[in-house]
Structure 1
Amino acid sequence: MKKALPSSSPVRLLAVLCAALELGCTANVTDPGGPAASPGGGTGGQSGGGAAGTSGSGGTAPGPIQVDEDGRIANPPAFQAPAGMLRRLTRSQFRNAVRDIFGVEVDVTKLDSDIGQFPAIGAAAVETSPRGVEQYQTAIEDAVDAVWSDAAKRSQFIGCAPGSAAADACTRSFLEKMGRRAWRRPLEAEELDQLAGVASTATTELGSGVEGVRWATVALFTSPSFLYRPELGAADAGGKLRLTNYEAAGRLAFLIWNSLPDQQLLDDAASGALSTAEGLRATVNRLLDASNGSGREAIGEFGQQYLELDRVLTQPKDAGLYPDYNAALQAGMVRDMRATWEGAAFDDKVSALSLFSTTKATVNAELAKLYGVDATGLTSSTFKTVSLPADGPRVGILSKAGFLSQFANQKEGSPTLRGKFIREWLMCKAVPPPPEGVALVLPDVDPNSPTTKRQRLDAHRQSPACAGCHALMDPLGLPLENFDAVGKYRTTESGLPIDSSGEVNGVPVANAREMGEAMAQSKSMAACMVRRFHAYAMGHDERDVDGAVVNDLISSFEASGYQLRDLVVAAATHDAFSAVAPQP
């Protein structure tokens, strides 16, 4: 049982740590964990739901950048490094880091929300609420308790027998090693002394060296140095500001594993291996090929954030219309989408463009039923990869339930929301905001005069104020009209046959299959994917001064046959990956 520290005890500096964490989001922090700079940077926001208008289709799209017909940036200016910044761990990074250190899972839904289309970008601008500080503290205490409640796990975790002396060698050795892993760098002597002091005072008050180490561990992991990632840089031999080796190690680990660096990566940082082109490339390949499969996070997490799959888990549907829509089905939808991205990169090693035409699906019992495939032997928590009918209607990620269900309301799908997301985020083309005063929601269907969504949109577009924007979005969403609000295939709506025709880049398509096949042949779709991955990997919104770097990545992506794994390598080994500028 955990021994509680008296609230008056100087050891339990949790109130101090809470205050430090709160300040760490907006001001300089001095705590066991060292100084932390104020974060900067921006991110696209999230917008609400809508059926006819252009809101509700995800994060705010970047401003227009001129491109050629293949999607390459036209006449880019010279590259300029982005300002250094401080990033809070995203929910998934925090979850993975705690799992990797303590071997336990934490419920990150109780933590402050991530912001932005790509949380790794939003993490540079996010603020931690007082409630959020308490939630981080609780999560860490619970993780530590899970280890300390099992004597064998605790002994293995500490690795030695803590004594009661103020300068206990076991305690200091543990804190030095664990601090290096948690803070992704060696501890300064003063930092180690502060943490050892926490352990010493707790040991005295609680009469146990083991309890002293417990509370020092809590302090270590509730420090801003664990919860925030500094990417501020230092001058290299040529005077250019670049990420330090330890900062670079952290950025690599969080990009590829979505978690902390391991000891070998920290050793590589210490040895200078990350400072050479050969050493850096070898490290990137090692992380991607990790035997535990953690390298798959480089693509799976990107796909999850890019397609906003967390929304799938929180969107309600009309229970009367969709009685089978439940948490197990939602989890299956997300797993299917992630598995499709990861499988293309690491298992099948096929072109990323095949994502738009694949017939592979990874299903549990609930998703198998929705897709109409054999669910024999499956449960809510067991999955298998299947091939959907080669001539069937469901091809590519855009006809998967994980995409279709989120760009819909509680009762019906939305061609406009689906088309808007496709145009802005998958094609990198702009959609202007709706004019003031335009109705963003279509009228309800008259039960005495049923119509299809296409017919309702046709009527809506009769208004000149609506026609322009909808002409950009609806032709991309209408080919998906054979799928309802949860992604189930249908051929009629309100008793009427569905017309699923549309257009891709001005070329007519008859349905989702033809649309996916057309996209799978598009160089501009591949170029857009590179632009989005570049922003995700570099951790900042797209800028015109990134154009030359983006074009480099587009060229290497095309040369590789659009291999997603090679895109990760190209981005992580590009000179721009570790370039930073002074904070303003």
Structure 2
Amino acid sequence: MSLSHPLLGAALILASIVDGGCYVGVDNDSAGQGFTAGLTQGASAGSSSDSAGSDSAGSDSAGSDSAGDDPPPELAPAPASIRLLLNRHYRNAIRDLLGEGAAAVVNPPLDTPINGFDAIGASQLALSDASVEAYENSARAAAAVAIQDLGRIGALMECQPQGPGDSECHANFIRNFGRLAWRRPLTDDEVGRYVAVAQTAALDNGDFYVGVENAIATLLQSPNFLYMVEIGEADPEDQGRRYLTSHEMATRLSFFLNDTTPPPWLLDGADDGLLDSPGGVRDAARVLLDEPAARVALDNYFAELLRLRSLDTLAKDSGVWPQWSPALAQAMRTETLMLIQDVVWQRDADFLEILDAPYTFANNLIGPLYGLTPPGGGLWGDAFVKTPLPAESKRGGILGQGALLSVLAHISSTSPTLRGKFVRETLLCEAIPAPPPGVNMVIPPEGEALPTMRERLQAHLTDPGCAACHVAMDPIGFGLENFDGLGVFRTMENGAQINTASDLNGAAFDGARELGAVVREQENVPLCIIRNLFRHSTGHVETTGELPTLMLLDDVFAEHDHSLQDLLVELVSSPTFRMVGVPE
């Protein structure tokens, strides 16, 4: 029989979920004992846990209210929606559900970013026929591998099959596995439909486990697995707003903080309603942030935000930069991520330090590229070591690292425009409009009259059609011209002295470290950090009705000395993360 399961359109799914009423909290045979020891007490304050499987959303304010636990009247969340799992979400979910072997054989569609974020693309783009086929093939392959591990399958059943047609045992497996895969309990009707799938296959083949295989493959093709459903339940105080249910919160939390499906303990907490309150969400978030997966998830986020993923395919002219290699590209990626890891995880320091940190992490590829001396003397090795940066090098923070300086450059030259655009758009969250039609994009060629990139671009800026936008970007990049297209320090270009004195919004700087310090003082930078995290975690650009709540988080971020760990906890427990609007 075919293992295909129809992938419904987003509108149909939304309609069926909203019109059908509450779809969770039914027949939960495997409800757990709540959060891990020490978490239950803090999480349950203000939550409803009268009966296992309850999934009513609430707005109690257990825990700190520094971010404002109750939604402000002006909060107008974006419409409720569903969004496709990202490629890594899918792979990690299969790994955690069915094991490494099953994860190794799946091939889900690649992500397509919109507005710079994969998550926004996952919210807006429709599935193609090729994507549907990829999900079907992946589900088949994962199920075929999973069924070979009867120990894992048996752990999901509280029974011993008594022959191919043991429908009760099939139902037991489907109820338990389905709850993990769909991230909520299945209804009786849903269990019955998948038991029918399993029974048909098992009886046709005379094998109970062929039925299990078919059930797995079919459950994994359901929109309930492939999509994060974020519909919520109506706020009794405002019918235009909806609280995410406890199970929806478990899903949003886990995929944001750990890049994978909710673990059983988190679903147990959702069954008990422990994610209905801000305090419960905070407690769960802290546990998730203690997982090794949180570090990997944050690496993935910054690899996306800081363009580090493009290093894998970045082309450079070997005649200009013969030292460019895949190994150097990987070292640059590692350097940047290690700086972030040091600030966020090792020291839990002011996150703004990544902008002007007077140190980096270098090895035998990065150290010589920057002209650095190994700390303590000796020779550079493969291992990365924390290395101070001399003040005269003008290098500091992520803006002085090879990763960004390489990505924000052309194949054989630097690009002050790209570097300035990155600062404006990614660090300051300012919009740079596209060039108007018919504008001459050609930069004057280098020569004796215009030997440096700064001089060539300044000549280009005499065109009024160019100057309107480039004046906001190019001067920022001029201050980084001491660093070539790989991030190597230089003072001359084509025999001419490079002038790197510049300013950002009237604040003078010269070099990457000074630019980082100036950026750090811009009042909209902390809010921009919050906005970027919000876009990544929710799959949409913040609406005007959500921005005031994010601005409250800006104050909390400052109160917590710009600790990113604390910000993540406060973000996920804030009303704007826990609420959605009415589906469109």
Tell me which interval the TM-score lies in, with the shorter structure as reference length: 0.7 to 0.9
Distance 1:108 1:220 in 2: 15
Distance 2:152 2:368 in 1: 42
One-letter amino acid matched to 1:583: P
One-letter amino acid matched to 1:13: L
| 3-state DSSP of counterpart to 2:476 | helix
In the alignment, what sits opposite 1:270? Answer: 271
| 3-state DSSP of counterpart to 1:386 | strand
Q: 2:113 aligns with which of 112, 115, 118?
A: 115
- State the Cα distance separating 1:454 from its structure 2 match: 0.8
One-letter amino acid matched to 1:427: L
In the alignment, what sits opposite 1:126? Answer: 125
Relative to structure 1, the CA distance from residue 482 to residue 274 in structure 2 (aligned partners, 3 Å threshold; closer, same or farther) is same
Cα deviation digits, residues 217-265 of structure 1 (max 9, x gap): 1212122111101111112555652111111111111221121111111
One-letter amino acid matched to 1:225: N
Relative to structure 1, the CA distance from residue 451 to residue 199 in structure 2 (aligned partners, 3 Å threshold; closer, same or farther) is same
Cα deviation digits, residues 402-443 of structure 1 (max 9, x gap): 222222222222110110121122113343432332122424
Relative to structure 1, the CA distance from residue 365 to residue 130 in structure 2 (aligned partners, 3 Å threshold; closer, same or farther) is farther
Relative to structure 1, the CA distance from residue 363 to residue 95 in structure 2 (aligned partners, 3 Å threshold; closer, same or farther) is farther
Q: Which residues of 2 match residues 324-335 of structure 1 at below 5 A? A: 324-335=323-334
Relative to structure 1, the CA distance from residue 221 to residue 421 in structure 2 (aligned partners, 3 Å threshold; closer, same or farther) is same
Distance 2:250 2:108 in 1: 29
Relative to structure 1, the CA distance from residue 29 to residue 196 in structure 2 (aligned partners, 3 Å threshold; closer, same or farther) is farther
In the alignment, what sits opposite 2:3? Answer: 13
Q: Which residues of 2 match residues 407-556 of structure 1 at below 5 A? A: 407-446=408-447, 451-556=451-556
Q: CA RMSD in A?
A: 3.1
Contact 1:340 1:362 in 2 (8 A): yes
Cα deviation digits, residues 272-309 of structure 1 (max 9, x gap): 1112333222112222223xx22335643442333233
Identity of aligned residues (%): 32
Cα deviation digits, residues 154-206 of structure 1 (max 9, x gap): 66677875554333444332222221111110112222222222222222333
Distance 1:319 1:163 in 2: 67
In the alignment, what sits opposite 2:29? Answer: none
Distance 1:556 1:301 in 2: 25
In the alignment, what sits opposite 1:389? Answer: 389
In the alignment, what sits opposite 2:84? Answer: 88
In the alignment, what sits opposite 1:42? Answer: none
Distance 2:522 2:107 in 1: 38
Between 478-487 and 325-334, the greater mean CA deviation after superposition: 325-334
One-letter amino acid matched to 1:422: V
One-letter amino acid matched to 1:309: L
One-letter amino acid matched to 2:581: A
One-letter amino acid matched to 1:501: A
One-letter amino acid matched to 2:84: R
Distance 2:251 2:460 in 1: 50
Distance 1:549 1:405 in 2: 36
Contact 2:106 2:142 in 1 (8 A): no
Relative to structure 1, the CA distance from residue 367 to residue 237 in structure 2 (aligned partners, 3 Å threshold; closer, same or farther) is same
- State the Cα distance separating 1:312 from its structure 2 match: 2.7
Distance 2:158 2:441 in 1: 61
Contact 1:420 1:473 in 2 (8 A): yes
Q: TM-score, normalised by structure 2?
A: 0.81
Q: TM-score, normalised by structure 1?
A: 0.81
Tell whether 2:289 aligns with 1:280. Answer: no
Cα deviation digits, residues 77-120 of structure 1 (max 9, x gap): 92212210010011222232223223335599862332221222
In the alignment, what sits opposite 1:403? Answer: 404
One-letter amino acid matched to 2:434: P
Count of paired positions: 521
Distance 2:191 2:367 in 1: 53
Contact 1:86 1:231 in 2 (8 A): yes
Name stretches of at least 5 consecutive residues in structure 2 with no aligned partner.
Answer: 22-71
| 3-state DSSP of counterpart to 1:229 | strand
Contact 2:247 2:267 in 1 (8 A): yes
Relative to structure 1, the CA distance from residue 192 to residue 376 in structure 2 (aligned partners, 3 Å threshold; closer, same or farther) is farther
Contact 1:503 1:509 in 2 (8 A): yes
Cα deviation digits, residues 530-562 of structure 1 (max 9, x gap): 232333334321222223202210110111111
Contact 2:360 2:397 in 1 (8 A): no
Distance 1:29 1:472 in 2: 43
Distance 2:390 2:161 in 1: 63
Contact 2:3 2:214 in 1 (8 A): no
One-letter amino acid matched to 2:545: V
In the alignment, what sits opposite 1:198? Answer: 197
Distance 1:546 1:171 in 2: 45
Relative to structure 1, the CA distance from residue 488 to residue 183 in structure 2 (aligned partners, 3 Å threshold; closer, same or farther) is farther
Cα deviation digits, residues 374-428 of structure 1 (max 9, x gap): 57442xxxx5342242423321111222222222222222110110121122113
In the alignment, what sits opposite 1:261? Answer: 262
Distance 1:162 1:268 in 2: 30
Q: Which residues of 2 match residues 200-279 of structure 1 at below 5 A? A: 200-236=199-235, 238=237, 240=239, 241-279=242-280
Distance 1:495 1:144 in 2: 64
Between 556-565 and 366-375, the greater mean CA deviation after superposition: 366-375
Distance 1:438 1:397 in 2: 32
| 3-state DSSP of counterpart to 1:580 | strand
| 3-state DSSP of counterpart to 2:386 | strand
Q: Which residues of 2 match residues 94-109 of structure 1 at below 5 A? A: 94-104=90-100, 105-106=103-104
Distance 2:414 2:20 in 1: 49
Distance 2:583 2:535 in 1: 19
Contact 2:75 2:549 in 1 (8 A): yes
Cα deviation digits, residues 295-345 of structure 1 (max 9, x gap): 335643442333233333333222443344343333333333333333322
In the alignment, what sits opposite 2:75? Answer: 79
Distance 1:188 1:403 in 2: 50
- State the Cα distance separating 1:575 from its structure 2 match: 1.9
Relative to structure 1, the CA distance from residue 320 to residue 400 in structure 2 (aligned partners, 3 Å threshold; closer, same or farther) is same
| 3-state DSSP of counterpart to 1:472 | helix
